[in-house]
Chain A
Amino acid sequence: MKKIPKSRIKNLVRELEKNYDIIAPVRTGERVFFKELGPDDEVYLKSNPTNSPKEFFLPYSEVLFEFKKTNDEFELKPNLESRERILFGIRPCDVHSLLLLDLISGGEFEDPYYKEKREKTTLVSFSCLEPMDGCFCTSFGTGPSLKDGADLLLTDIGDYYLAEPFTRKGEKIIKSKLFENATKRDKKIKDERIKKAEEKIQKLDLEKIPEKLASLFDDKLWDELSKRCISCAICTYLCPTCYCFDVIDEGKMFTVDGKRIRCWDTCMFPSFTRLAGGENPRATKKERLRQRIYHKFKYIPDRYEKFGCVGCGRCVRYCPAGIDIMEIISQIK
């Protein structure tokens, strides 16, 4: 267990930049985004960024492979070249989202693109002491701090950040001379602060929600709840656990030469379930909103024994129509 003075965080980032690409929260105007650190960017740790870290593992659009026809044969060139990088400043809720995506991308049919990026990323997480509007991590056990899941956990204990490594990658980072030894007292301060943070976050009882939902499929509450939805993609695109995608082939005209691209898609667009022939099983907002809730609170728990939501609060904060997923859950209860 070590600690690092707050004033040295900048130096730590500079040091890590020598060997890794750094992805960290950066402030742009009034908003904060995760982005690859450029030479003039400064790390901003005071709020959870608008975008979620999933875009660095499941990018908005990525080339799966390139194809080219030479004579009568097809040449496929897969695209699996990422660089070593550090995700610096990821919060516990987002760390848990990656743990869930690990389950979903793993299994019998592994996603090699996700896996490769995940293996090349070191997670330096920061405990969350100031919950934001809409945060519900305690209901899912995904915050405000971590017991494992990241490589290194930093917690604000006053003038220092307490540094707890969970993996070899984390231990490697704290070998830096910028870190000092921590004491039992430092750990105690951390525990106290985490407890205080927990109390600030509203906790909902999620017991038996999947079972409850099983009986509510045809309930008319979905009509009422979905009325204000405008069917944009904000909730799904900002959500750290939403992973639905579309696959598109793009090529040049008249030659067989192009790429296969995977890009984000959203169940909230009417066209998501539009079938050839024009049929659409989720033609109205009611069906789409219901699907989203069911996916996160029933289908994923049924399959993976974890909720599909980590309580990061982004969908609540940024929904233009004021739809609150946790309000819906408490109504269901």
Chain B
Amino acid sequence: MEKTQKEIQKLAKRLLKEKKVDLVIGYEKSESGKTRPFFATKLEDTDRLVWDKSCSNNLAVYLLENKEKVAIVAKGCDSRSILELIKTNQIKRDDVFIIGVPCNGMESNGKLLENCRVCRYRNPVICDVLLGEKVEEIPEDNYEDVKEIESLPLEKRLGFWKNEFQRCIKCFACRNVCPMCYCDDCILEKKDPQWVSKPRKKEEMFLFHLVRAFHTAGSCVDCGSCERACPVGIPLRLLYRKVAKDVKELFDYEAGVDLKEKPPLTKFDLENDEKL
């Protein structure tokens, strides 16, 4: 990974020097040792770029507001987000230079992150340059965590989610950190009509989270940023993975894989849908 870090720095320097891009989005380490997003605009900035097992943030979220020509360091999951953003016309392919880096999983406190454990796209699916050796992909994801909840009786499931949602403080971190939540006028924040009121009502928390889960259908790439951002530890990935599992089973669609495939809820397939 040391080698890849140097390659990233070198490439970033070259891109900025040749004015191919105005900004390189990557990772840096703060003084206290925390890895976080970094925005390099000057040549000397590029020495701060790092690459190691703590680079877990999904940087694609920053593409939405940076309208200049941008280079971005992208792992497998990040590249899938970028592909989806291109597919949904949020960014133009020519405006982004994707520095693809194969990834064997990110860690936190020495432990492999949950979403990395089940990741099936460790090599970037779209990139302009691939830095580093391609890594082996693991086979099918069994969705064990989702199945565990599915096996609980209905009452228990409701109790489980009530318990989790009651901690939610509506900080919107899950939504803000997600690259696929790009709506200017988020339905969860709308005042007219108002679906979710400002005071935190227990029954409204179901609405909030289930609507968000539904809106990730066909978009979520399971980068895990939402669950990591949540300050109160709600198991968001369980919900979004359930939706992704159903989207795969019902519509045979996976987010961030095929640029030409239309999102599943914007189309229909008469033959396939008969069985719904």
Direct contact of A and B (CB under 8 A): yes
Contact indicator A60/B169 (Cβ below 8 Å): yes
Flag if A263 contacts B198 (CB, 8 Å): yes
- List chain A residues, Cβ under 8 A from B34: 322, 324
Bits for A219-263, please: 1 = Cβ < 8 Å to B, else 0: 000001001101111100110000000101010000000000101
Give A224 to B225 CA distance when docked, in angstroms. 22
- Whether, in the assembled complex, B113 has its beta carbon less than 8 Å from a beta carbon of chain A, the answer is no
Q: Mark B124-164, 1 if CB is under 8 A from A, else 0.
A: 00000000000000000000000000000000000000000
Partner of A320, one of B32, B38, B200, B228: B228
Q: Contact partner of A237 among B35, B171, B189, B199, CB < 8 A?
A: B171
CB-CB under 8 A from B182, the residues of chain A are none
Query: Do the beta carbons of A230 and B177 come within 8 Å of each other?
Result: yes
**Can you list, as one digit per residue, whether each of A301-324 has a CB less than 8 Å from chain B (1) or not (0)?**
000000000000000101011111
Residue A29 interfacial (CB < 8 Å): yes
- Give Cα A237 to B176, complex, Å: 15
Contact of B171 among A61, A234, A316 (CB under 8 A): A234
A238–B231 CB distance below 8 A: yes
> Is B214's beta carbon under 8 Å from chain A?
no
Query: Min CB distance, A185 to chain B, in Å?
Result: 37
Is A148 positioned at the interface, with any CB of B under 8 Å from its CB? no
Dominant secondary structure of chain B at its interface with chain A? loop
- When distances are taken between beta carbons in the complex, the residues of chain A under 8 Å from B167 are 28, 33
Q: B179-199 interface mask toward A, CB cutoff 8 Å, 1 = contact, 0 = none?
A: 000000000010000000111
Q: How far, in angstroms, from A250 to B197 measured CA to CA in the complex?
A: 10
Contact indicator B200/A263 (Cβ below 8 Å): yes
Instruction: Take A228-B39, A230-B177 as given contacts and tell me if A31 and B228 are in contact as well, using a CB distance cutoff of 8 Å.
Output: no
Interface size on B, residues (CB 8 A): 32
Hey, which chain B residues are within 8 Å of A263, CB to CB? 198-200
The residue that B176 contacts in the complex, of A30, A230, A238, A327, with Cβ under 8 A, is: A230
**Assuming A33-B232, A230-B177, A327-B30, is B171 touching A321 (CB within 8 A)?**
no
Any A CB within 8 A of the CB of B20: no
Q: Answer whether residue A205 sits at the interface, using C-beta atoms and an 8 A cutoff.
A: no
B36 touches A (CB below 8 Å): yes
Contact of A41 with B by CB under 8 A: no
Q: A320-B229, A321-B36, A327-B30 are in contact. Are A232 and B176 (CB under 8 A)?
A: yes
- Give a binary string over B21-49; 1 marks a CB under 8 Å from any A CB, 0 the rest: 00000000011101111110000000000
Which of B61, B170, B171, B175 has the most A CB atoms < 10 Å from its CB?
B171
Q: Are A322 and B197 in contact (CB under 8 A)?
A: no
Least distance between A236 CB and chain B CB atoms (Å): 8
**For B268, what are the chain A residues with a Cβ–Cβ distance below 8 Å?**
none
Residues of B within 8 A of A51 (CB): 169, 232
**Number of residues of chain A lying within 8 A (CB) of chain B:** 37
Q: Are the CB atoms of B176 and A227 closer together than 8 Å?
A: no
> Is A271 an interface residue, CB under 8 A from the partner?
yes
Question: Is A133's beta carbon under 8 Å from chain B?
Answer: yes
Residue of A nearest to B171 (CB): A233
Residues on A with C-beta less than 8 A from B177 are 230, 232, 320-321
The verdict on A50 contacting chain B, using a C-beta distance below 8 Å, is yes
B86 in the interface (beta carbon within 8 A): no
Residue of A nearest to B34 (CB): A322
Within 8 A of B (CB), among A111-168: 133-134
User: Given that A33-B167, A61-B198, A250-B197 are known contacts, is A231 also in contact with B32, CB under 8 Å in the complex?
Assistant: no
How many angstroms from the CA of A321 to the CA of B39 in the assembled complex? 12
Query: Are A227 and B39 in contact (CB-based, < 8 A)?
Result: yes
* Interface membership of B57, Cβ < 8 A: yes
Chain A nearest CB: distance from B90 CB in Å?
Answer: 16
- For A230, the closest partner residue in chain B by CB is B176
Contact B30 A322, beta carbon cutoff 8 Å: yes
Judging by beta carbons under 8 Å apart, are A237 and B169 in contact? yes
- Across-interface contacts of B62 in A (CB, < 8 A): 227-228
B176 to chain A, nearest CB (A): 4
List of B residues within 8 angstroms of A50 by Cβ: 231-232
Query: Chain B, 201-229, contact with A by CB distance < 8 Å: what is the 0/1 string?
Result: 00000000000000000000000010011
Please pick, from A30, A228, A234, A327, the residue contacting B233 in the complex, using a CB distance under 8 A.
Answer: A30
| Residue B118 interfacial (CB < 8 Å) | no
Contact yes or no, A233 B169, CB < 8 A = yes
Q: B190 → chain A, closest Cβ, in Å? A: 10
Say whether B57 contacts A321, CB under 8 Å: yes
Most buried by A among B37, B172, B198, B200: B198
Contact check, A230 vs B231: say whether CB atoms are below 8 A apart: no
Q: Are B36 and A248 in contact (CB under 8 A)?
A: no
Q: Which residues of A contact B91 (CB under 8 A)?
A: none
Which chain A positions have C-beta within 8 A of B200?
60-61, 263
Query: Are B173 and A320 touching (Cβ within 8 A)?
Result: yes
A323 to chain B: closest residue by CB:
B36
Please indicate the chain A residues that have their CB under 8 angstroms from the CB of B171 in the complex: 232-234, 237
Can you pick out 26 interface pairs between chain A and chain B where the beta carbons lie within 8 Å of each other? Answer: A28-B167, A29-B233, A31-B232, A33-B167, A60-B199, A60-B200, A133-B32, A227-B39, A232-B171, A232-B172, A233-B171, A233-B172, A234-B173, A237-B231, A248-B197, A248-B198, A248-B199, A250-B197, A320-B173, A320-B225, A320-B228, A321-B37, A321-B57, A324-B30, A327-B30, A327-B32
Binding site for A on B (CB under 8 A): 30-32, 34-39, 57, 61-62, 167, 169-173, 175-177, 189, 197-200, 225, 228-229, 231-233
**Closest CB pairs A-B (n = 5):** A322-B36, A61-B199, A320-B229, A232-B173, A233-B171
